[in-house]
A = this chain, B = another copy of it.
Amino acid sequence: MKKILMTPGPTMIPEDVLLEMAEPIIHHRTKEFQEVLKDVEEGLKYVFQTKNPVFIFASSGTGGMEACVCNVLSSTDRALVIVAGKFGERWLELCKAYKVPCEVLDIPEGDAPDPEDIRKILQKEKINAVFSTLCETSSGVVSDIEAIGKICKEYETMLIIDAISGLCADPFFMDDWNVDVCVSGSQKGLMMPPGLSFVAVSKKALDESEKKSDLPKYYFSFKKANKALEKTDTPFTPAISLIKGLSVALERIKKEGLPNVIERHNKLAQATRASISALGLSLFAKRPSNALTSVRIPEGIEVSKLYNRMRDIYGVNIAKGQGELEDKIFRIAHLGYVEIFDIITTISALEMTLSDLGFSINFGDGVSEVEKAFKR
């Protein structure tokens, strides 16, 4: 059975990226690898839309998030954490692990934070850093980081963004939006296996890390990473094969052009949502990201049955909900190496699965909407 992976990480990997990683390994202290590292650094700056250095860690995205917390904050700081789902919650857990006092702005899952609520908190008390999420992968919601960035600038508060699943899918402009630190991961819009995290760091945040932050750090130290990067090097043995694969993936993005990549994601998202509505299902996210579409499970159907059947009978791997949403929604990612016919396949498999499970649909109602959306 042919299989496709429509999950919000890991995402499918282009064949040329896979084959690059299957090349014989090279040593990292060579000109050959330095060239790769230079290319990758440029490519990452492009996708983050930043002039800031971007540090590469061998770690999952969470490792990169921990780097943000332990480098930028100090034990006497106060953070504001915006929690609108599992990954906002992760920021909070990380701050707590380092015993940093936190203010929390809790948002119901499926909603996006209202930037004015952030202003109200910043007006009232001294906050050193605001932690938020571009695309909250657990709900499929994208936040208005541009507006949040304006407010943080006004109050001279640092803004730290988890763009792990949002990068390359949703519009994002690190420098123009006043984001101080931004973290992403390899296995999402960058079309790579998991194993790398990326952290772009502004001058202000780097200064904070090097001169003020008193939280313990070593492997994830920005200072060490920056010192090495200045010599086109890494402080510790880099994940050579993954970084070589990444250079090929970034080359693809540069060739397509970042605005076109994001427009493609937008089109795939629109097509998916039109078909979902045509099938009589209802969308969950109030401010949906281009990375994934979250769908309320219709009454009488179990998420896990739908999920298992789509995967095991039709070869289409989507995602269930996470945490409290596990049994309430399913999620179709259209993220990374995805084209219109992946959506056609997914919606076709969804139609057949819904029918198998006794949910009343007309075959083709969803698929035809994908085609129509594509031709608009």
Contact = CB atoms under 8 A, between A and B. Distances in A.
When all copies of this chain in the complex are counted, the total is: 2
B18 A66 contact: no
Given A25-B5, A237-B9, A242 B63 contact: no
Given A66-B218, A218-B94, A58 B12 contact: no
Contact of A62 (B18, B21, B218): B218
Interface string A1-32: 00101010111110000110111111110100
A3 to B, nearest CB: 7
Contact of A240 (B30, B99, B194, B215): B194
Interface size class of A (residues with CB under 8 A): 35 or more
A202 interface: no
B58 A59 contact: yes
A216 B213 CA distance: 14
A314 to B, nearest CB: 15
Interface in A164-204: 185, 187, 193-195
Contacts of A239: 60, 193-195, 239, 242
For chain A, what secondary structure do more than half of its interface residues adopt (helix, strand, loop), or is it mixed?
A: loop
A242 B12 contact: no
A27 B318 CA distance: 10
B216 A215 contact: yes
A240 B62 contact: no
A241 interface: yes
Nearest to A239: B195
Contacts of A70: 216
B62 A27 contact: no
A228 interface: no
A216 B219 contact: no
A87 B199 CA distance: 26
Nearest to A235: B62
Contacts of A58: 58-60, 63, 194-195
Interface string A240-266: 111000000000000000000000000
Given A21-B21, A60-B239, A187-B240, 4 more contacts: A10-B27, A59-B63, A185-B237, A215-B216
Interface of A: 3, 5, 7, 9-13, 18-19, 21-28, 30, 57-63, 65-66, 70, 93-94, 97-99, 185, 187, 193-195, 215-219, 236-242, 311, 317
